[in-house]
């Protein structure tokens, strides 16, 4: 009788320490095999094309291409591939967007090794696993209609306030001591969350709904 093949796993995260930790975690389980790693969404697509994994552990917030878009692209080419989103963000928008992008599991990076292993095995079988915080976020979204800007983070509020003052990305980066690429990420996230097309509309909406002073 032949042994059951190990679950082929790819890790996608832009932080080397996280990838290293997840790699070490996988080696502890005989029924799982690490077949590739990637540092962003674009690289994840290439790695998955070559490795053809069963399950991808996908970070959601990354440079160049985020995990949401990467999951959609990989799913188009490999419908059989399953995903476990592993993130620090349990808010409604992230959970809903991840599920729509094709993830089967949604766990926080504080999850235990056993929780991660269980989520990978469930994803391999096509079963959904949600962190309690993610489930609570979805329940909140159903129970209470969201107000404009409800899901903006503290940092996004800071960026929005400076954006409303007419500051450029460089100005915002200098004021908040962050990189311009990080500012661009926050601006894109703000536009998406507010449902607007550009910075002017975001500023107008922020002032109208008193999101900034």
Helix (H), strand (E), coil (C) string for 65-113:
CCHHHHHHHHHHHCCCCEEEEEECCCCHHHHHHHHHHCCCEEEECCCCH
φ and ψ at 9, to 5 degrees? -120, 140
**CATH class entry, domain 7-142:** alpha beta
Number of other residues whose CB lies within 10 A of the CB of residue 79: 9
pLDDT at 163: 93
Instruction: Give the 3-state secondary structure of residue 59.
Output: coil
* Predicted model pTM: 0.66
User: In the chain, pLDDT over 90 holds for what percent of residues?
Assistant: 73
- Cβ(6)–Cβ(117) under 8 Å? no
7-142 and 154-208, same CATH topology = no
Domain 154-208 coded CATH 1.10.10.10: yes
105 near 83, Cβ under 8 Å? yes
**The pLDDT of residue 15:** 94
- Helix (H) and strand (E) counts in the chain: 10, 6
DSSP conformation class of 209 = T
The residues spanned by each domain of the chain are: 7-142, 154-208
Inter-CA distances, 37 with 11, 13, 84, 174, 211, Å:
5, 8, 14, 33, 40
pLDDT tens, residue by residue, 76-101 = 999 999 999 999 888 888 898 899 89
pLDDT band for 35, please (50, 70, 90 cuts): very high
Read off the pLDDT of each residue in 165-181 and give the average, rounded to a whole number.
Answer: 94
Alpha-carbon span 135 to 67, nearest angstrom: 20
**pLDDT at 3 exceeding the cut of 80:** no
pLDDT at 149: 82
Chain mean pLDDT for the chain: 91
User: How many other β-carbons are positioned within 10 Å of the β-carbon of residue 62?
Assistant: 24
Residue 1: predicted pLDDT: 38
Q: Residue 144: its pLDDT value, please?
A: 61
Handedness of CA 115, 37, 66, 81 (dihedral sign): negative
The tens digit of pLDDT for each residue in 116-164 reads 999 999 999 999 999 998 888 887 766 665 577 878 898 999 999 999 9
Residue 2: pLDDT band (50, 70, 90) is very low
pLDDT one-digit tens code per residue, 37-75: 999 999 999 999 999 999 999 999 998 899 999 999 999
CB atoms within 10 A of CB 177: 6
Task: State how far the Cα of 202 lies from the Cα of 99, in Å rounded to an integer.
Answer: 26
């Amino acid at each position: 009788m032949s042994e059951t093949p190990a679950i082929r796993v790819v890790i996608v995260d832009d932080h080397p320490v996280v990838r290293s930790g997840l790699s070490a975690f996988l080696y502890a389980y005989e029924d799982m095999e690490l077949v590739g790693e990637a540092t962003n969404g674009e690289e994840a697509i290439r790695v998955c094309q070559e490795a053809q994994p069963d399950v991808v552990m996908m970070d959601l917030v990354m440079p160049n291409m985020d995990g949401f878009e990467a999951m959609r692209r990989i799913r188009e080419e490999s419908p059989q591939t399953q995903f476990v989103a592993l993130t620090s963000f349990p808010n409604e928008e992230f959970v809903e967007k991840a599920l729509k992008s094709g993830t089967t599991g949604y766990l926080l990076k504080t999850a235990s090794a056993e929780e991660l292993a269980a989520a990978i095995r469930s994803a391999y079988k096509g079963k959904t696993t949600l962190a309690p915080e993610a489930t609570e976020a979805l329940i909140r979204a159903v129970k209470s209609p969201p107000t404009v800007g409800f899901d903006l983070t503290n940092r996004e509020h800071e960026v929005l306030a400076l954006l409303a003052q007419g500051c450029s990305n460089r100005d915002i980066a200098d004021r908040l001591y962050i990189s311009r690429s990080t500012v661009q990420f926050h601006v894109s996230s703000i536009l998406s969350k507010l449902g607007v097309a550009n910075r002017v509309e975001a500023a107008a909406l922020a002032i109208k709904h008193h999101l900034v002073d």
